[in-house]
Structures are given as C-alpha cells and as structure tokens.
Amino acid sequence: MAWSDLLARIVDWLRAGYPQGVPETDYVPLFALLSRRLSEDEVREVVSALVQRGALPADKVDVGVLITKLTDEMPLENDVERVRTHLRKGGWPVGDGWPESSN
C-alpha cells in the first residue's frame, strides 16, 4: 500500500471517529493504536529474504534485523512472532533464540 493510500485511510478513520476533531486527551491513545505493524506481504517478504539468504534455521535476531531494514523501526514482538509462525507453517525450521510456544 502506498503511503498516500495509507494516510488517506488513517485520515478517513479519524474523521469518522472524531467528526468534531480529536480531543487533546485522545492523541496518545490514538498514536498507540496507529503503531506500525507488518502487512502480510511484508511478513512474506521477510520470510523470502531469510530463505534466499539461506538463514535457516532462522533465529529471532535474523528476523528482527530484516524487519528493521524493511521498516526502519525496531521490530515489534508480535511481528517477529508472525514471521516465526509463517516460517513454521511453510515447513521452515526456526533456530535458537525463539521462545517456546505451543504452535
């Protein structure tokens, strides 16, 4: 999604929820809701990069570095977990440094 499309959707969402404008006390909670999250395409892009680099079994650091390069932001734990889940669903191994999970 292009930045202009994303910004237009955010502005439309804000206008629908706050037709009279955003109260000053709601700015911080709104910014928390709008924090960056990887799209499904970006999750697949990280997984593809890991496979192409031969960085398998992938560990948490490898995934975090690729997410940081893709987004220019520190990786969110839930995005790292989404990449881990995608790897496992695709039959790719994950290495040390991953928290144990029931997935």
Domains annotated for the chain, with CATH where assigned, are 1-34 (no CATH), 37-96 (1.10.10.2390)
Higher pLDDT, 77 or 31: 77
**Residue 26's pLDDT is what?**
77
Q: Is the pLDDT of residue 102 over 50?
A: no
Using the predicted structure, report yes or no on whether residue 10 has a pLDDT greater than 80.
no
- Residue 34 has a pLDDT of 62
Rounded Cα distance, 98 and 76, in Å: 14
